[in-house]
Structure 1
């Protein structure tokens, strides 16, 4: 334990986990895929590659997400000791003040770059960063608002790119609703898994306020809505591309998820959570493959 190399590596791992670097990398990948293959279909590859405003906006997003992960773990550190003991032990190798320094630095760099792009982009990220802090500080403990705010902040960067390219269509709108609802479903399932810890530390969640049965009814309603949206997307074009095949396959995934949710065992909720997370990632890959076929 006194080995300085081990200590430095532990500090680095603790920081990476605290900043949720791996989540930020996944969102960066998703942003690039959605921006290039969904929002900017009319733009040439060359124009996209040399559009430094877009790269700057995505870079500011990544920095803001990293900062948001840091401030969230700062406020949730007591609950994380119960729900994420391994991550908490690793993070103890680095003092909390260094996380706060990193939080301020990442936000300031992000805002500085955003201001160089344009005042509107600056205010876009200033709003984003404020609500990420406000969510961690207050809203994460407010019933229903916590789930809606968390999901809204997750999709906020995608909404920004949608507005930037002014790519308005019924299909993209339905896909945005689909993403919002599946992320909402994931967040409620997470609350089911951390029910006891949330209650202990004063987090008002749907499972704590209404019980497990009502929570699963809500999850069932969301699943039905997701199936309906998937059917609408498929019915517009049929299964003629990879993304529509993804939504068709999603019907089976959602039925299986519902079956597992009806199971009373806690492990079933854990399986559903990971199935839905994997399915979101598969959706990004499907968009990438579909875009490559259409573009090239």
Structure 2
């Protein structure tokens, strides 16, 4: 009888220990925003090979270790940025993201900081090994990621513009590396900047109360709901205008032409949901826009494969 009881207690202990370790693992993934980093890495590879790097063949691209090194540094920098951001936003996340914060609580904050320092050091070490210019590029990137989390995330307008700019910074780096400057690339960058800006501002409308309580000045906290939504709708209309310019003036073809054409109707749906003046409408809008960014990456991939065949 005692033997059975001990066996049961042992199994229960193993089960709790396994749950604790898994919770730590998922807490780390969420804290580092691993899934966001994975999506950005995928987008960076797709855009690098099919948009910026138009002359090099696939074999040369695969063995271009300098490019892979830059993307590796970018991934580590994004993970480090996610960690330092959740460190500064920890109190706010308790209110806005209670489930994620609960999982992250299985790991002490000091361990997140250790990983942040390790990722930063490894990233800068690899960047320095590639070239001093790449090193400077990532020093600037990591400094502004820290400065955004520490200070800029609470400053009106700068918080949204800086967040979107930091998201696009690695893509700008690849564009400079390959010296791919064209009207099409510029308009696509403006399109992506506007759609990400819309996502960030809509996100602020969903976290308005917490932002106000913790001193974050956003468009949603400074202006009334009607004004904030008018700004978002104006940005969506600008995005639609850029899409039409891309279709009409750059000779864009294939899957990307379908993407930008269909995007006009997607934007109209977003405006419709925003005009509903409800939190649910905002939630649907932000998820539609996020999904449409992902569709854009897939469209670029398919368009690139079609062009390379």
TM range, smaller chain: over 0.9
Larger deviation: 19-28 or 207-216?
207-216
Give 1:134 shift.
0.3
Give 1:224 shift.
1.0
Deviation by residue 1:264-288 (Cα, 9 ceiling, x = unmatched):
1110000000000000000000000
Q: Give the whole-Å Cα distance in 2 for the aligned partners of 1:97 and 1:74.
A: 9
Q: Which residue of 2 aligns with 1:147?
A: 160
Q: Give the whole-Å Cα distance in 2 for the aligned partners of 1:106 and 1:274.
A: 30
Which of 131, 146, 155 is equivalent to 1:133?
146
Q: Give the whole-Å Cα distance in 1 for the aligned partners of 2:302 and 2:204.
A: 33
Contact 1:239-1:245 within 8 A present in 2 as well: no
Which of 181, 193, 198 is equivalent to 1:180?
193
Q: Which residue of 2 aligns with 1:61?
A: 74
Give 1:237 shift.
5.1
Contact 2:184-2:250 within 8 A present in 1 as well: no
Q: Which residue of 2 aligns with 1:13?
A: 26
Q: Which residue of 2 aligns with 1:211?
A: 224
1:284 maps onto 2:305 in alignment? no
Give 1:240 shift.
3.5
Q: Give the whole-Å Cα distance in 1 for the aligned partners of 2:224 and 2:140.
A: 34
Contact 1:141-1:204 within 8 A present in 2 as well: yes
Q: Which residue of 1 aligns with 2:58?
A: 45
Q: Which residue of 2 aligns with 1:242?
A: 255
3-state SS of paired residue (2:184) = helix
Q: Give the whole-Å Cα distance in 2 for the aligned partners of 1:155 and 1:18.
A: 21
Deviation above 4 Å: which 4+ runs of structure 1? none
Contact 2:246-2:252 within 8 A present in 1 as well: no
Q: CA RMSD in A?
A: 1.0
Work out which of the two has the higher radius of gyration on C-alpha atoms and give 1 or 2. 2
Which of 93, 111, 123 is equivalent to 1:80?
93
Q: Which residue of 1 aligns with 2:274?
A: 261
3-state SS of paired residue (2:56) = coil
3-state SS of paired residue (2:224) = helix
Which of 14, 20, 26 is equivalent to 2:39?
26
State TM-score, norm by structure 2.
0.94
- For structure 2, list consecutive stretches of 5 or more residues without a partner in the other structure: 1-11
- For structure 1, list consecutive stretches of 5 or more residues without a partner in the other structure: none
Deviation by residue 1:15-68 (Cα, 9 ceiling, x = unmatched):
000000000000000000000000001111111111000000000000000000
1:195 maps onto 2:208 in alignment? yes
1:223 maps onto 2:212 in alignment? no
State TM-score, norm by structure 1.
0.98
Q: Give the whole-Å Cα distance in 2 for the aligned partners of 1:240 and 1:277.
A: 23
